[in-house]
Amino acid sequence: MTGQGGAPIIARSNYLLQYERLAEEILVADRARSRSWRIRFFITWMVIVAGLVAFVFLTIKLDAVFINKWIPFILTGVPVTLFVSGAAIALAIVLATLGALARISSNPIPNAIASFYVSFFRGTPLLLQILFIYLALPQAGIVIPELPTGILALGLNYGAYMTEIFRAGIQAVPPGQREAAQSLGMSDRTTFRRIIVPQAFRIVTPAIGNDFVAMLKDSSLISAIAVQELLWRAQAAGRPTLQSMQTLLIAALVYWTMTILFSFGQSRLERRMAAGDRAVARR
């Protein structure tokens, strides 16, 4: 652009103006396209939901009186489900922390113990583990009531998976962090506590959230040993009266709602944590 003086500058501004208009049109078109995509996405969802509702209402008559009568009974299971999931995830976090520490330790003995733990609990079905603690251990003279059994089994199983997550999280902290800490004279312990753990924690937080949501659903397995949680109550109410369509649908909706709520809470938490180092995105 060499234009100096009147005429060329006018020509140039016309040229720019023309493309400014084009840029605006592109922006508007892009926006319209993404809006239409979202509308179609939403409509598809609604069609599926409407279809399911129609199916339920047309094939069987939902017994409203029955539902009203049994809903409180079923919902009483929600706190049990939440309590079991919460206690089990807490147990799992403790076990996973110990497991991960053992797995990264230079001592072969705790390392082997943790490795065995992870291998065994990831290598056998969760339902089997629940039944084993409840039904098989009494043969060895160890009798544990239903609720603790459920928490123990879920915690042990999830702890095994989370051990690997925690270990990976610790190892995902760049080695330069450790070197920087050491070069400042920090001991291995201080380095781990002050430098590695806080960074590893951020790395694994989303995974802990995911596992909690998964736990909410897997906790239904302990209905097999008669812990009176959500699924057990749905079955108990539906089976004798042959009204399982109603009770299981209710249970499904409740699980689904809880999952959505927790996923939402989790994504908010993650966004908040990301805001802490929003900086990372900026630069």
The binding site for another protein (CB under 8 A) comprises 174, 176-177, 179-187, 190, 194-195, 198-199, 202, 277, 279-280, 282-283
Residue 56 or residue 104: which is nearer to another protein going by CB?
Answer: 104
User: Quick count: other Cβ atoms within 10 Å of Cβ 58?
Assistant: 8
Minimum CB separation of residue 98 from another protein in Å reads 23
Which residues have CB under 8 Å from 209's CB, separation 6+? 262, 263, 266, 269, 270
How far apart (Å, rounded) are the C-alpha atoms in residues 236 and 80? 15
Q: Which residues of 170-202 are buried (b: 16+ CB within 10 A; e: fewer)?
A: beebeeeebeebeeeebeeeebbeebbbeebeb
Residue 125 or residue 174: which is nearer to another protein going by CB?
Answer: 174
Minimum CB separation of residue 276 from another protein in Å reads 8
Output the six-digit token pair for 119.
Answer: 């291998």
Minimum CB separation of residue 206 from another protein in Å reads 16
Minimum CB separation of residue 174 from another protein in Å reads 8
Residue 202 or residue 217: which is nearer to another protein going by CB?
Answer: 202
Asked if 66 and 241 count as a contact pair (C-beta separation under 8 A), the reply is yes
Residue 79 or residue 198: which is nearer to another protein going by CB?
Answer: 198
Asked if 194 and 100 count as a contact pair (C-beta separation under 8 A), the reply is no
How far apart (Å, rounded) are the C-alpha atoms in residues 210 and 218? 12
Residue 242 or residue 279: which is nearer to another protein going by CB?
Answer: 279
Minimum CB separation of residue 278 from another protein in Å reads 9
CA distances from 75 to 80, 173, 229, 240 (A): 9, 43, 9, 18
102: exposed, middle or buried (C-beta count within 10 Å: 0-12, 13-18, 19+)?
Answer: buried
Minimum CB separation of residue 203 from another protein in Å reads 11
Residue 242 or residue 281: which is nearer to another protein going by CB?
Answer: 281
CA distances from 209 to 53, 123, 154, 206, 212 (A): 31, 23, 15, 5, 5
Residue 56 or residue 186: which is nearer to another protein going by CB?
Answer: 186
Minimum CB separation of residue 191 from another protein in Å reads 9
